Homo-oligomer: A and B are copies of this chain.
Amino acid sequence: MRQIQREELEPLATGAWILGTGGGGSPYLSYLNMRKLYADGTRVNLMDPAELADDALVAVVSNMGAPLVGQERLSDPAFAAKPVRMMEDYLDRRFSAVMSVEIGGGNAFQPLLVAAMTGLPVVDADAMGRAYPEAQMTSFAIAELPMFPLALADIRDNEIIVTRAASWKWMERISRKVCTEIGSIAATCKAPRTGAEVKAFGILHTTTQAIALGREVRRARQAHEDPVAATLVAARGKSLFRGKVADVQRRATEGFLRGNARIDGIDDDRGAGFQVAFQNEYAIGWRDGRVVVTTPDLICVLDSVSGEAIGTESLRYGQRVSVIALPAPAILRTPKGLEHVGPRAFGHDTDYVSVFDNASAMETWP
């Protein structure tokens, strides 16, 4: 257990936004919340998963919904903590720690916000190693752990607990409809996990990795080096395309942000075209009409100059971007994992196409 330092917050925002692969919501507003809390003297502790007792009860939290809406309806610490209190009341048990369902995007900060309100330590782990739009797209779902109960709250006085669900997909369907009805943004506390479950099936040390990645990008930027190249080295990624955004189609629908973007090549890629499709997160990429990368590879669209990630909700015409891929956690690339998060899970009728050979990809980074 160690204290998260004030100067780690900004790198966490940068790193988590890259790992968000376009989704998870911009970390910026949650980062501002945490900076204010730190300025007021609040401190949050980061806990190595190995420190968790097997029978410890861990809250798994998220800010759920359409990223575009998250830009308008702002999160705050009290709202983030609300479903955690609901779950404690429902279970009549106290949590020992809190973790994010996804390290990618704003949800990297969600457990920090809860920790600031409750004093609970943040577990250095998540359940995706990136961001994904749906409930069944987690390492816990792939491991077939129970998916209920789930607590969900809005900014009004609406509070819902899904006490049982027939499957992870049913949990997704029901909670998504509720989320959509209350404005396409909800604070959630997912099915509680034991310490043993987190250690066995979580994606470990991803908060630390996100901070390290963000630090490297910021270091390169300050040293006038190429921050995109720095990300590729730090996260063992591969460059896919450099270009200018030519067209974006985007719609907030069924609680998701769906669409696709076309990028015209520049520099070495002049004359070529790249297309990405997304459901909150970038899911698949085509170069000149041919699939060259799919989920679970992390498909990241970065600002070519600053190296900052560009979310699916802020991608727009004229941006100079670099499309890169980072290797996904091993469990997502197993056959069972691909059932949950492969391209077919997003409605794309293709097998998993990776830019990483299996041997190198099976290593985790950094």
Contact = CB atoms under 8 A, between A and B. Distances in A.
Interface string A143-167: 0000000000000111111111110
A177 interface: yes
B163 A160 contact: yes
Contact of A174 (B86, B90, B158, B164): B158
A166 to B, nearest CB: 4
A252 interface: no
Copies in the complex: 2
Nearest to A182: B174
A191 to B, nearest CB: 14
A178 interface: yes
A182 B157 CA distance: 24
A36 interface: no
A80 to B, nearest CB: 17
A181 interface: yes
Contacts of A161: 160-161, 163
Contacts of A157: 164-166, 170
A294 to B, nearest CB: 28
A6 interface: no
Nearest to A179: B177
A156 B166 contact: yes
Contact of A158 (B156, B165, B180): B165
Nearest to A92: B92
Contact of A162 (B156, B160, B166): B160
A90 B157 CA distance: 19
Contact of A181 (B86, B158, B159, B177): B177
Contacts of A181: 173-174, 177
Interface of A: 86, 90, 156-166, 170, 173-174, 177-178, 180-182
29 contacts: A86-B163, A90-B90, A90-B163, A156-B166, A156-B170, A157-B164, A157-B165, A157-B170, A158-B162, A158-B164, A158-B165, A158-B166, A159-B162, A159-B163, A159-B164, A160-B161, A160-B162, A160-B163, A160-B174, A161-B161, A161-B163, A173-B181, A174-B178, A174-B182, A177-B177, A177-B178, A177-B180, A177-B181, A178-B178
